[in-house]
Structure 1
Amino acid sequence: MSSSLWHPFKLGRVELPHRLAMAPLTRSRANADGTPGPLAAAYYGQRASLGLIITEGTQPSADGQGYPNTPGIHTAEQIAGWREIADAVHAGGGALFIQLMHVGRMSHPDNTPHHRQPVAPSSISADQEIFTATGPKKTPVPRELSVQDIQTTIADFRHAAASAIAAGADGVEIHGANGYLLHQFLSPNANHRTDTYGGSVENRSRLVVEVARAVAEEIGADRVGIRLSPAMPLGGINEGDTESVRAQYRHLVNELAPLNLAYLHVHHVGDDELLRSFRKVWPTALLVVRYGRTREQIADDIDAGLADIAPLGRFALANPDIVERLRTTAALNEIDPATLYGGGEAGYTDYPTLAHA
């Protein structure tokens, strides 16, 4: 394992002991009202040695919820639930960033507290199956957000960020990736608007920049990260050919860079030339995660100078003591796919540590 992983790093206001982090992972174990479930503090606390803990996607409003039993961070009860998680992570020496995830059209009325039609940049269905309490259903045609609705959505992100800090979190990550609302605005096949939020590269970028600016104004730029996934086809997204993707994301990252956010988190699908262009203009930390990395490849982007931090997803999920296992080259637990979403302790807080084994 490369020694570069074990160098300390200052990210925004927090001092990290190494270059690993926990990537956001939806687990669908929150209570029906969006408060984190009773086991969530144990789950995140177990993994605090990862240093930077980026939480599962957390809705900034009722409109932002997509899946059953995902947590929110917009009510007093939700803030109280997250406070227990923040305390557990801090007790283990970690820093907590709550990921703010508005899913947009990747939703179903059965999964939200108000049972309303999902919202999106345009009235275009993602045409995807989504899990509900009564089984898989097709995502419906969403309601197009008005300009006033967009301003309300920006205010919702701002309020959620303030709520995260009130809960004791160290910061937030804005989810602009993986087929959700902000990514939908960036994608020409999901965004057919003809106003200032659609049409050109500049207009499609506008909402992402405005959300990032509002959140940074609310809690401080050094407590804000943002996640992007150029060319990621999740949720029915198609951003066009390579040059179209590069034009969109080079413009967007150039617009975001002056905000001096704490970090840019790239869910990378292979365009290293684009990633290198981000590295040249981004003024702070760059986090890069790729699908399918082996244990031996975790530090590759850091060693290549393309990243500062390597977030871990499934390795962290199945191995609460993944940091110790990587340091000592110990064997890793295998993930149980049947327990990824919903349920209780099984496949959540019961993966054994080396000490337990």
Structure 2
Amino acid sequence: MLNSLQRQILGAINSAAGLSRTELAQFCRMSKAAISSPVREMLEAGYLFEADSINGPGQGRPSVKLMIRPQGAYFIGVSLLQEPAQMALINLKGEIIARACFALNRDPTLLAENIAHALPELLDGQAEAAERLMGMGVTLSGFIDETQSICVQSALLGWRNVALATLITQATGLEVFIENDAKALAVSEKRFGQARDLETFTLVSHGAGIGSAHFIAGKLHRGLHGGAGEIAHCTMELNGTPCRCGKRGCLDTIASVNAIMEMAREENLTVASLPELERLAANGQAAAIRILHRAGSALGLGIAHLIQIIDPSLILIAWQEETIDGLLGTVVQQSIETNVLPGFAGLTPVRTFAINQDTWVRAAASIAAHRFLDGPESINDGAKSAR
């Protein structure tokens, strides 16, 4: 296994998409001589390779840049957010190498067995990956404990205090970490996506439910008990609509896709999807406009609160593909700008991207990759102190 310095080196090279030895020494605040031994060991172990960096005219010989070798390590991701459940194999660059699926059984023991039975299909023809397999990540909708091993509660799966990581490890023999879907997606963006070079950012996911997660000072902020980022269950309307969590007026009851479609049914609108509701609004249908304004205003208000509390370098909003454009997205942006303090207005970039069929399973695998690259230190200090 990698030591802490080697993990630091791999993480730095991954974030920068390649570094020379001089740049790496500066990043680690060490001499080139001090990093030469761990770098040589990682080259020999196949985690890194050397590539020529092209210099400009008259700048002499090309410098040698250290790069991540994609085949250096592999990770499995399992997403329990779809039916059937999805499984994927990724390499050290986050590229999906193979896919498989299996029945989403809500009995945890049977689910672990289904995962084990799907592994041979996933690894068929992937001999090198099987030899260099470093772990498995599992993502689901729910509240995960600070050790990333127990599902404390999942309303979607009907679970309470399920030691899922242990059950899957027993069935597969692999090291397993489980994670809430939004936190897993934030890790994926940090490791392989738009936030690789950022120390502090917030991700908000919008779909059937709403989630959020935060990286602070380069670490995933999970909170003392693993519950940081539960924006969906922040109260937005006192004595509002009952929520599945047991409270009332949660953001999830106003702005999630499920809530929006329920409001459409209450207004007797014959729509089967959010895009259809958007089309009604674009054609001037008053109830559709009212529903989307209410949802967008609440979601934007919640994001504005996050900006003021955390002051991140970036807000990333992951939408279901069909919700990026239209009235809902416009109102969210307007609500953010309206509800942020004037001194903060316009200072925090907001980017959106679409969730596709690979998003969640790559995010799951990213959890295992993150633990491999960062070790136990990938859990924030507050969570570590709780163990």
How does the TM-score come out when normalised to structure 1?
Answer: 0.29
Greater strand proportion: 2
How does the TM-score come out when normalised to structure 2?
Answer: 0.28
Greater helix proportion: 2
